[in-house]
Amino acid sequence: MDRVLIRELQIETVIGIYEWEKQVHQTLLIDLDMAWDNRAAADSDDYSQALCYETVSKRLTALITEKPIELIETVAEMIAHCLMSEFAVPWVKVRVMKPGAVPSAKAVGVEIERGI
Q: 22, 58, 98, 106: which one is catalytic?
A: 98
Per the document, the length of the chain is: 116
Could you confirm whether 93 is annotated as catalytic? no
Compute the C-alpha angle 54/36/51, nearest 5°.
20
- Cα separation, 107 vs 97, whole angstroms: 6
Instruction: Please give the positions annotated as active site.
Output: 98
